[in-house]
Amino acid sequence: MKLQQITDDLRDQWNDERFNPWYLRYLIYFALGLWTFAMVYTLTSS
């Protein structure tokens, strides 16, 4: 199996609404934003 096929499969799976409901995307973005904020906060507060 080529790498291109694997990435295509992953993208198809990611775009599949049953596998990836719309709120999951926002949840991931929210978690990343929260983590980034926490990192910045801890670095600046110390």
Is pLDDT of 13 > 90? no
Query: What pLDDT score was predicted for residue 20?
Result: 63
Query: What pLDDT score was predicted for residue 40?
Result: 95
| pLDDT band, very low/low/confident/very high, at 17 (cuts 50, 70, 90) | low
Q: What are the DSSP calls for the chain, one per residue? A: --HHHHHHHHHHHHH-TTTS-HHHHHHHHHHHHHHHHHHHHHHHH-
Rounded to the nearest integer, the mean pLDDT of the chain is 85
Is pLDDT of 15 > 80? no
Average pLDDT over residues 17-41: 87
Rounded alpha-carbon distances, angstroms, from residue 40 to 1, 18, 29: 41, 35, 16
Phi, psi of 18, deg, nearest 5: -70, -40
